[in-house]
Chain A
Amino acid sequence: MRLLDQLHFNGQLFLRHRVRTVLLLLAVGLGVASVIMLTSLGEGARRYVDREFSALGNQLLIILPGRKETTGGAPPIYGAAPRDLTLEDAQALERLPAVRAVAPVIAGTAPVSRGSRSREVIVLGSTSAIFQVRKMDVAQGKILPERARSEALAVCVLGSKLKLELFGNRRAIGEWVRAGDRRMRVIGVLEERGESLGLDLRDMIIVPVRTAEQMFNSPGLFRVLLELDANADFDRVEDRVRGVIRERHEGEDDVTLISQDSMLAAFNNILTTLTLAIAAIAAVSLLVAGILIMNISLISVSQRRREIGLLKALGGSSRQVRQLFLGESLLLVSLGSVAGVAVAWVAVLVVARLWPAFPLAPPWWSVPAAVATALLSGLVFSLIPARRAAALDPVLAMRGQDL
């Protein structure tokens, strides 16, 4: 039997059983569309993170106190607690070649208030370098002065939302606020920029690092951010950083270094895995569609017993009958897949239009994977009905009543 003839034959069947066909097309189409749309969400999240990171430039190196043993091995025998990472450590790193800027960070939360208005926000203690490293700028006023490197000045820069909460639309520059138990003068307000690396820049306060040290009574830094030269060799810089720390920490380089790349890679990994998991969950709907196809095909086989018997009497072989039934399912799944892909494509376009900030897009593998899963599911679940049809005894099948 020719392929075209088979397609025509199956097509006539679909036209004859419109409701059934539409139902199955819907099941397959929805399954395929949901796989594509859900994976688009996951991929969108990955791209979003990717974009956020690259907005910071790729030359960021983060130093955390203490060593995270990720390569196994025994923990150090003595010196149970790691040494603090100090401001002096950070300043020593400034002298390294290929290091463009060093921003020490002390972080904590404290109530920030003005008059009767108060808000609990994140306090970031740092130097003027933080603005360069995190690509932040002020909308009004000034950033932290150079002297903030070493002096506990009573000045601060407010996030845009915090400023709005405390001052409304009035001018904040030069006014005083209370952060924790200290009074400080507002010298700048950050420009509006939303989240960056999970930190809501709008709802926080930046103070000189020494000030934060006193506020939180902690000599240790939360972390140190390094911005490197554009063409810096990360491995070499890492070695040098460890060298400096070892020198200052009595031979122990008890810090953890995270490069922007490795962080991005980790995020990428997590989000890709998540997307795959979502895809697998969505694929369950294709399994359900397959089971639906099986049930309906089984009904169809028993309804078309006489026709199957006739085909055999007219010289059709069991193999041809099996092919007819498998072909019917595959054709149906193909049509459903095309519809599903089209629907998903339109949906992604529409959402992208409505919500341009989120880079929604299907990952490259999602369309082939969804269609392949649908086809496989259709094939596997129509094996039993097709086999049953092929095994029908023509004499028995043609017995009985009129058409």
Chain B
Amino acid sequence: MIELQDVNKTYLVGESPLRALRDVNITIDAGEYLSVMGPSGSGKSTLLNMVGLLDRPDSGSYRLEGTATEELGEEARARLRADYVGFIFQAFHLINRLTTLENVELPMMLAGISPKKRRQSALGVLEQVGLADRAGHRPNQLSGGQLQRVAIARAIVMKPRILLADEPTGNLDQASGAEVVEVLENLNREGITLLVVTHDAQLGKRARRRIRMVDGQIESDTGDGNAPAGSTAL
């Protein structure tokens, strides 16, 4: 479903060009569980943003569900993003003036879905992440682990096919991190494609397919993202 071919991305940092992605080739099938690891600045986030249609390649092609995304305009890319992709960030990115429920409803609101349906779906996914009783709370009344679970609820409320998580446990302690990973892996078990960027070797190893990036290139790509759970060493 995800097919990147010879994707390049160069940023200009001052005078000098910085190649964040070099000739990246990767194919990801539905339902895979991938981790992306590598040193800081190796292009992990850039890759994730590319897959999530937040960024455009300078050259190369990116097909999402058979659609050649590089030919699409801004509006169409936004729509694809809304339909297929859910993002989870290290810094949660919840809006403080909105309640938990409103934060979770936000993607559906942008998509113009009716308030009734929105509420139903949002409460459903909050249930799924174990936070149904926090619907009326504001972000500043929640713990880090709870915040990230709200963010996950928001990411999946539109029933996306792909979940992109950029260091989802980076701001969390061990226990909350484990909770969050559990929620994510449960979602993957139910069929969602899960891509996790992480510095945490423990977390990285849990994925069935592991990608290592160095200097904008994929250095290694091991494992089978769709192998049955439990076949990977923990």
Q: State the A residues within 8 Å of B (CB).
A: 1-2, 5, 9, 12-13, 15-16, 306-307, 310-320, 394-395, 398, 401-403
Contact = CB atoms under 8 A, between A and B. Distances in A.
B111 interface: yes
Nearest to A6: B109
A399 to B, nearest CB: 9
A313 B81 contact: yes
B54 A313 contact: yes
18 contacts: A12-B97, A12-B98, A15-B97, A307-B95, A313-B93, A314-B110, A315-B79, A315-B83, A315-B111, A315-B158, A316-B78, A316-B110, A317-B79, A318-B74, A318-B75, A395-B49, A403-B91, A403-B93
A5 B113 CA distance: 10
Contacts of A13: 97
A402 B55 CA distance: 21
Nearest to A314: B107
Given A1-B112, A317-B74, A318-B78, A310 B93 contact: yes
Given A315-B78, A317-B74, A318-B78, A398 B112 contact: no
A310 B75 CA distance: 16
B73 to A, nearest CB: 9
Contact of B109 (A5, A306, A401): A5
A398 B94 CA distance: 12
A403 B96 contact: yes
Given A1-B109, A9-B109, A402-B91, A312 B78 contact: yes
Interface of B: 49, 52, 54-55, 74-75, 78-79, 81-83, 85, 87, 89, 91-98, 106-107, 109-112, 114-115, 139, 154, 158
Contacts of B158: 315
A16 B81 CA distance: 29
Contact of A398 (B74, B75, B89, B114): B89
B107 A394 contact: no
A58 B174 CA distance: 94
A310 B91 contact: no
Contacts of B93: 306, 310, 313, 398, 403
* Those 5 A-B pairs whose CB atoms lie nearest each other, nearest first: A315-B82, A317-B78, A314-B107, A16-B97, A316-B110
A315 B81 contact: yes
Nearest to A16: B97
Given A312-B54, A320-B78, 4 more contacts: A13-B97, A315-B81, A317-B79, A398-B93
Most central of A16, A306, A314, A395 by chain B CB within 10 Å: A314
Nearest to A319: B75
Given A314-B82, A315-B107, A320-B110, A403 B94 contact: yes
Given A2-B112, A318-B78, A313 B95 contact: no
Contacts of B52: 313
A56 B96 CA distance: 70
Nearest to A400: B91
Contacts of A316: 78, 82, 110
Given A9-B109, A402-B91, A395 B97 contact: no
A394 B89 CA distance: 13
Contacts of B87: 313-314
A338 B78 CA distance: 36
A1 B110 contact: yes
Nearest to B80: A315
Contacts of B139: 403
Nearest to B111: A315
B92 A403 contact: yes
A395 B54 contact: yes
